[in-house]
Amino acid sequence: MMRQVKGKTPRRPPPKKPLSNQKDPVGVYCRVRPLDFEDEECCIEVISSTTIQLHAPEGFKTNRNGEYKETQYSFKKVFGVSVSQRELFEHVAKPLVDDLIHGKNGLLFTYGVTGSGKTFTMTGSPGQGGLLPRSLDMIFNSIGSFQAKRYVFKTDDKNGMDVQSEVDALLERQRRENSLSAPKTLSSRQKLDPEIADMIMQEEAFKAEGVDEDCSYSIFVSYIEIYNNYIYDLLEETQEDAIKPKWNGGGTPVRQNTEFIPPQSKILREDQNHNMYVAGCMEVEIKSAEEAFQVFWRGQKKRKVANTRLNRESSRSHSVFIIKLAQAPLDADGDNVLQDKNQVTVSQLCLVDLAGSERTGRTGAEGTRIREAGNINQSLLNLRTCIEILRENQMCGTNKMVPYRDSKITHLFKNYFDGEGRVRMVVCVNPNAGDYEETLLVMRFAEMTQEVEVARPADRPICGFTPGRRYRNQAFKEELSRKLEERGGPIDRDVPSVINHLVHSLPPLPSCELTDPHDDITLPRLIEALQNRHRVRQMMIEDYNKAANMMKSMLQELDNNLISRDNFIQEQNGKLTEKYKIIQNNKAEIERLEKKNKMQEHKIDILQKTAKIYEDDKRSLQQELETRDQRLQRELSEKRRMEQRMHGVVSDTQLKWEKECERRVNAMQLEMQNKLWVKDEKLKQLKAIVTESKTPGRPDPPLRQTKPQAKSQPQSQSQPQPQSQSQQPSREERLPTKRSASPSPLPTTTPVRPLHRRSRSAGGEKWVDHKPTSSMDLGTVLQPVIPNAIQVSAPSEKALSKCDKYVLTHQEIASDGEIQTKLIKGDVIKTRGGGQAVQFTDIETLKQELATVPSRKRKSSEGAPANGDQKDGAWTDVETRCAVAVEMKAGSNMGPGYEHHGITKRRKP
């Protein structure tokens, strides 16, 4: 059993490569429109036929030094404000129409800022037709007598063209005429729309040269617009406003036949030759310029326009008018179109009116207009990007991918930049100073576009048939009709009349009535008459053959003469073409040299001016340098004098301060010696007092035991205070505490019950007393007491919901090593979610201070009882005794244990 072979997908043919290796740069032309008002400020000046200059308007500074910068831009040709539409067409579009008729493609588009005259340049107005109507008029003026009958050429909906016989075309015409109830035909110019009537004067008409007379032609047009990066067909009968389609109550498009169906966006496809085309776009076959105007204007009325601040009828979409010319050679007889699809040549000319770039701030656009302006600017930016990458690939030899697919307008025309076809651009500018910045960007893009090269289109292949077939066939028919007129009448009669005339020219037949079966006269007479007629017919045939042979020999002789003349003419044309190419090259070289010469002269002038400025600057700088040198020398001499003077002053000041410092040091040493001597004397007296207090037989005073121990500090005699153990808050506002009187240093003092003071927070408010479990009991007398409080070791939502105040007891080690207690207070507030939060308001600090150990008291020598019930006045503390210094002379034998008279402490002089 044989396994069935699986079919394979056919391999896609490679992309079409340009047949010609020669390339031409993109032709860029500039047209300057006139100002709306004569008093407006102008920023553009036409210097020559190929150069314009931009002046920055007042208030617009382009250099850092504040000077105005003037820039020049060169084009293939510059058209001023006074140029006519006819002159513009002759230089820009006429060569493209010639290429179209000779089977070559072309692309022409207008580019510029909104309101710069692009639509007027492309369309025109009555009496001033633009590039598009003049192109149509020139096409039909050139091929009008060579057009094929309608439907001989037929599109195949795949960007191709089929050819059918005249019989099939006649049947299709009848079928379509019968299907249309009221066919639309144009009989004269009077039936045209008044807005496009008489757009071209008869004296301004053009006609192409070198039209192939042995071909049959047919024109097809289509009109599309690219709106918001969507493609719409302007020639569809159901095409309406795509911005606001009709909708039903449910918010969905209505699909019934009685309502409007929103137009669907067309898609781009690629044919078998890798050419891009709009699938499903209507292509209308036209037979006259008037009919073409009518079709164009029907689609022009459906194009999206809007009123903006800069333009009353601003185009909101890119419009593309495609003229497709189908041509095929005639057969060998020169009567009918050759029935071979491969011999059909299709060329097209695309006329593109780009929407103008705009800034929404200047146009005052809102809503839909902003979205339209954004899409327009984005598509133009993609066009600039593609042109820039193409230029980079061609100049630098890189192979970067050109982003044609980012925009419909670039994707549609990628074949013109990658394949064959002449590309031209008309840059329209508005000299108004308000458009200076946008015009500057347009000029830069145009300058970059001129550096892109496109492959030159190849010539159409020559058919193998003998040229001049159409006219030779017509001449043969005319000569035949003349001969027939000489023989028997005009050729334009119908066939029965010609036959009757030939019958009457023959000998008449005798009477053929037979009355007797044995009649031997009638039949021989009839036979003789028929033989005479046959003889005459043979003579006529011989004469006709002779005339035909003579005519053929004459035609052959004429053909030979024509062929020889055609060969001679072709040779001469070849020579003329070579001479013309040489002349064109010389002209181009001359123009280049003239341009280079002008640029060099301009550079020389600039360099001379710059050199003069530099010389002036050099002289002024030299003078300034000499002046500064003199000033510097004076300053240096002055500085040396100042240094000498300051050196003397510094020396004097240094000597003076050395003496003053020595004096101060001596004084300070003397003062410190006196202080040390005084301290030594005090220590000696203190030692004597301590030694005296330790005499045997005197009891020591009882000591009060405290938890922390500290050294006793001497107190001033004027302010004696008892020392005790206590805690003192650091702020004036304190929590309520239980206070007690300080214990007396004497054992006979009775403690007094302290009075309780009501705290400020002991009112009707409830407190949450938060004491952590890690807190230590210091065992002091004074402790904070908070009545009406809930004591917790950790705060809870239940406890906080019942109280208004909150206090936290926090213990930490102070800088002196003792325990310091902080009371952190706050208010309990309710949150929106139903919970409680604490807002802290105050912090109180309770610091523990250590009381000094009670010093030993010495019993007074006068009237002191011997028992232990002494009074306070019988004891004198160390601090009181040390308030009076005892001065002893050096080397004295008086010890601290001896009684002596006190000498008042010597004061500092």
Task: Categorise residue 479: left if φ over 0, alpha if ψ from -120 to 50, beta otherwise.
Answer: alpha
Residue 186's contacts (CB-CB under 8 Å, 6 or more residues apart) are 192, 288, 290, 291, 294
DSSP one-letter string for 557-570: HHHHHHHHHHHHHH
Pairwise CA distance, residues 231 & 462, whole Å: 37
**How is residue 231 written in tokens?**
């493609």
Tell me whether residue 117 is annotated as binding. yes
**How is residue 896 written in tokens?**
């601290």
Tell me whether residue 9 is annotated as binding. no
Which residues on neighbouring strands pair with residue 153, listed in sequence order?
A: 163
- Map tokens 């656009």 to a residue: 365
Q: Which amino acid is at 223?
A: Y
Exposure string of 437-462, with b = 16+ CB inside 10 Å and e = fewer, is: ebbbebbebbebbbbbbbbbbeeeee
Q: Which amino acid is at 265?
A: S
Tell me whether residue 627 is annotated as binding. no
Pairwise CA distance, residues 85 & 119, whole Å: 13
Closest CA to 103 of 151, 143, 68, 53: 143
Three-state helix/strand/coil letters over 3-45: CCCCCCCCCCCCCCCCCCCCEEECEEEEEECCCCCCCCCECEE
Pairwise CA distance, residues 434 & 311, whole Å: 14
Handedness of CA 486, 491, 493, 498 (dihedral sign): positive
- 232, 263 contact by CB (below 8 A): yes
Q: Is 272 exposed, middle or buried (0-12, 13-18, 19+ CB in 10 A)?
A: exposed
DSSP one-letter string for 385-451: HHHHHHHHHHHH---PPP-GGGSHHHHHTHHHHHSB-EEEEEEEE--BGGGHHHHHHHHHHHHHHTT
Which residues on neighbouring strands pair with residue 453, listed in sequence order?
A: 25
Phi, psi of 330 (to 5 degrees): -80, 165
How far from the centroid of its chain's Cα atoms is residue 657's Cα? 75
Residues 12-17: contacts with CB under 8 Å, at least 24 apart: 13/272, 13/274, 15/274, 16/273, 16/274, 16/275, 16/419
Element (H, E) at 875: strand 875-876
CA end-to-end span of the chain: 140
Tell me whether residue 119 is annotated as binding. yes
Tell me whether residue 402 is annotated as binding. no
Phi, psi of 457 (to 5 degrees): -65, 140
**How is residue 750 written in tokens?**
């009775």
Tell me whether residue 112 is annotated as binding. yes
Q: ∠ at Cα 328 (202, 345), nearest 5°?
A: 90
Task: Categorise residue 211: left if φ over 0, alpha if ψ from -120 to 50, beta otherwise.
Answer: beta
Pairwise CA distance, residues 260 & 245, whole Å: 8
Task: Categorise residue 505: left if φ over 0, alpha if ψ from -120 to 50, beta otherwise.
Answer: alpha
Exposure string of 369-400, with b = 16+ CB inside 10 Å and e = fewer, is: beebbebbbebbebbbbbbbbbbbeeeeeeee
| CB atoms closer than 10 angstroms to residue 795 | 17
Pairwise CA distance, residues 879 & 882, whole Å: 5
Residue ranges of the annotated binding site for ATP are: 112-119
Residue ranges of the annotated binding site are: 112-119
